Amino acid sequence: MDFRRIEVIFLIVFFSLDIFLFLSFRNSQQLVSSTSTNTSTVTEMRKRNISFGSLDTKNGNAYYLGSQPDDSLAQNVQKLRNQKVEYENVNHTLVSTLNNPITVTTANRTEVMNKFVKKESNILFGKDYKYAPQLSSSSQMIYVPTGSLGEVYDKTAQLVFSVSEGEVVGYTQTYVKKLIVLHEKQAIKSEKEVVTNLYANSEIPNNSKISYANLAYTKLLEANDSTIYIPVWFVTIRNKDSKVSTTKKVNAFTGNIIKSSTNGDNYSAQ
Amino acid sequence: MKFSRVVVQALLVVAVITSIVLSFFIWTNTARYQRGRNIDVTSAESNKNEIPMNQVISPTSVIWHDETDQHLIYNSNENISLSIQKVMQDWKIDEPKLISDKDGAKYQKVIQAKNTLQMVYPTSISINTLGYLLNNDSLKNDKSNQFNRILVNLKDKKDQNIYLANDDNYAVYKAKVKNASSVPISKLVDKANIDLKVRLDIMKHGVFTSYVDPIKLKTYSYVISGKKDGEYTTALFDSNTNGLVTSEDNGVYTYNYGESKRLISDHNTEELTFEDYTDTSVPKTQLAFLQRGYQKVTNLQNSISNLRLYSADWSDKDLIFREYVEGFPIFKKSQFGSIRIKFSRKGSTEHFLNKVLEVPVPSNSAATKLKSTNEIFKGLQRAGYSPNDVQGIEVGYQWEAEADNEKVVDLKPTYYVKIGGHWKAYEEWTNESAEEE
């Protein structure tokens, strides 16, 4: 009789133990599945309502580039028509005010300005430049040089139109005549590595959109009277709530996030 | 009554078995969960900013022998030997077999064969190290033999082999290759933009690359970087800097971490020495020797993209790394190159310089024209050194600080000659310039 009671007590104890074990097993299962999504940061980012297109996983190659100061703009200034031009020798910048401001709307401004840029009497070396929507805003349209080595996103080589009240009133221009390869090509970080790294470093908030991720050369430093450019990933993140866009820069050689002042000066290559 | 007792007993058995099974699952699962997480962390770490081992241990010069002459080639936009290594990773290479040994005349024929491309390492490494770097299993099996040249015939379709040659004992190994095409390699050769006529001479102290004609080489400039002592102690003592004993004497700083580790930093010469008395295990295989050297190098410096293994002395367990620019070594004002690592039972020692090439900048100086190697030997003879005294001769870059900018160095080409175990510039041996007038 006593033994039977012991059996019943054991049965109850083991059943409760089973229930406890089963629950903790379920818990550990969930942990496992959550870590496996952790390994795929991309899925986690989607879960957190961060939207982006497909990310390129290919590791490309890029160079250290150098440019020497150049006054081609000053030498060709007589080719320009219908504008008032000034040339600043110190930073090799051409500042122009258009005699007849160009009327543009948000919808057609790219098309209108692309046409304008192509003509040599409007813009010197205009054919070497391309519109860069990532850098532009409602008050500025920025054109960047394109070449066989890639695009340059930097104030030392840029064409900036100022737009005010639906009119393009003038522009400033800097120009790099020739980029020299300074070192054999080196492997760079892929788009996916850069974006996941930004996310891992809490640089991408929840509920946002990666609107642009472009690779371009930007100024690293000046030495020996030359400007040195390195490849940098420019990743623009737009917060869906506040509608504010911020652009993060990542050194494409090292994968380090460049935390610098807006002019991009004085940061180390590390 | 009896029936219900049977039911209770059966249920009890089931409950016990279930609890055992569930416990088993939980244990095995937790283990997997933890292991998986560790793997994730380590792979993320190793992917960081690292230069792969097959870049640090790679051939530094590429010599192409066309129908008539041998040429040292280089492409300043793309490192040819790194690109060829990438091509070779897809090849199926069989186990190498010895075809000749200790036969100087035959060896000369092999290294002067026509239509052959050869990639030369600055020092000999074991064949299984190459197997590890190319991820090739049959090469990995060859544990003891060494080589310093890889030769491939690019024209002879019947010769589907690669040859591994060792300057130290004139050994030549032949390995059959499948799944390989010479087309991508020929393309890389055609793209070379530096082409210098050379001849490989077997001399008393090894095989020397002689430049037949005077050679014109570019000068380079680099922004250099260094680290503060504190950054080295944090990385090398792998713990916080509490308990550090520091002393200073005439600009020489010594940091002791208990009795086990010591860093000596000479601020006058910017040379550092690190001694680790806890690292008493001497590498057992040649592969482990190089792997541990590579790990130490990555731990010391941030940017090692220009660094190459320069010399590996297996019997002394001594490794030397140097920085290279466009295939030529840089000689700094130290006897040990850039980094020297020595393993011993008493602990490991690392000598290194706190000056690393960081960013290339356009050079203000014009190209330099150097004399032919023959003229250099004549000059040495005039200064009293016979060709048999010369243990090594190499074109390398001299490290010159710019007067007006201490952050920038100029690299100027010149001949370096090793006599009596010391590398010195030709000018220092002879008081003559190595430049062609």
Interval B177-198 mean pLDDT: 90
Domain that holds residue B405: 361-430
Quick one: closest CA in A to B34, which residue? A32
**Residue B48 in domain:** no
Tell me: do B310 and B332 sit in the same domain.
yes
Ranges B38-42, B150-154, B205-209: which has the least confidence: B38-42
Domain boundary residue, one of B359, B375, B401: B359
Interval B294-301 mean pLDDT: 89
Q: Residue B252 sits in a domain of what CATH number?
A: 3.30.310.160
**Residue B2 in domain:** no
**Residue B317 in domain:** yes
B225 at the A interface (CB within 8 A)? yes
pLDDT at B30: 54
Q: Is residue B27 very low, low, confident or very high in pLDDT (cuts 50, 70, 90)? A: confident
B360 at the A interface (CB within 8 A)? yes
**Residue B276 in domain:** yes
Tell me: do B349 and B416 sit in the same domain.
no
Tell me: do B246 and B331 sit in the same domain.
yes
Judging contacts by C-beta atoms under 8 Å, the chain B residues touching residue A269 are: 223, 225, 303, 358-359
Label each residue of chain A as H, E or C.
CHHHHHHHHHHHHHHHHHHHHHHHHHHHHHHHHHHHHHHCHHHHHHHCCEECCCCCCCCCEECCEEECCCCHHHHCHHHCCCEEEEEECCCCEEEEEEEEEEECCCCCHHHHHHHHHHCCCCCCCHHHEEECCCCCCCCEEEEEECCCCCCECECCECEEEEEECCEEEEEEECCCCCCEECCCCEECCCHHHHHHHHHHCCCCCCCEEEEEEEEEEEEEEEECCEEEEEEEEEEEEEECCCCCEEEEEEECCCCCEECCCCCCCCCCCC
Average model confidence (pLDDT) across chain B: 87
Q: With CB atoms and an 8 Å threshold, state whether A11 touches B78.
A: no
Tell me: do B125 and B167 sit in the same domain.
yes
Mutation choice for B interface testing from A15, A182, A197, A227 by most B CBs within 10 A: A182
pLDDT at A38: 42
pLDDT at A226: 87
Quick one: closest CA in A to B77, which residue? A184
pLDDT at B241: 61
Interval B133-156 mean pLDDT: 89
**Residue B87: half-sphere exposure toward Cβ, Cα within 13 Å:** 18
Tell me: do B302 and B378 sit in the same domain.
no
pLDDT at B127: 92
List the domains of chain A with CATH numbers.
41-63+180-258 (2.40.128.690), 69-173 (3.30.310.160)
Q: How far apart are CA B16 and CA B22, in angstroms?
A: 10
pLDDT at B239: 64
How many CB atoms lie under 10 A from the CB of residue B280? 12
Judging contacts by C-beta atoms under 8 Å, the chain A residues touching residue B18 are: 14, 18, 21
Tell me: do B355 and B365 sit in the same domain.
no
Q: Tell me which residues of chain A have a pLDDT lower than 50.
A: 33-38, 262-270
A1: tokens are 């009789």
**Residue B410 in domain:** yes
pLDDT at A29: 63
Tell me: do B160 and B57 sit in the same domain.
yes
**Residue B27 in domain:** no
Calculate how close chain A gets to B12, using CA atoms only, in Å.
5
Residues 206-225 of chain A whose Cβ lies under 8 A from any Cβ of chain B: 220-221, 223-225
Q: With CB atoms and an 8 Å threshold, state whether A18 touches B15.
A: yes
**Residue B25 in domain:** no
Tell me: do B347 and B410 sit in the same domain.
no
Tell me: do B294 and B165 sit in the same domain.
no
Q: With CB atoms and an 8 Å threshold, state whether B37 touches A35.
A: yes
pLDDT at B170: 93
Tell me: do B181 and B71 sit in the same domain.
yes
pLDDT digits (tens, 9 = 90+) for B234-279: 888 876 666 677 888 888 999 888 788 899 999 888 899 999 998 8
Domain boundary residue, one of B359, B385, B400: B359
**Residue B217 in domain:** no
pLDDT at B243: 62
Judging contacts by C-beta atoms under 8 Å, the chain B residues touching residue A10 are: 12
B193 at the A interface (CB within 8 A)? no
Q: With CB atoms and an 8 Å threshold, state whether A25 touches B25.
A: yes
Ranges A198-207, A254-263, B8-17, B294-303: which has the least confidence: A254-263
ipTM: 0.75
Calculate how close chain A gets to B299, using CA atoms only, in Å.
15
pLDDT digits (tens, 9 = 90+) for B374-409: 999 999 999 999 999 999 999 999 888 777 777 888
Q: Residue B366 sits in a domain of what CATH number?
A: 3.10.450
Tell me: do B100 and B194 sit in the same domain.
yes
Domain boundary residue, one of B148, B175, B204: B204
Tell me: do B58 and B196 sit in the same domain.
yes
A101 at the B interface (CB within 8 A)? no
| Number of independent structural domains in chain B | 3
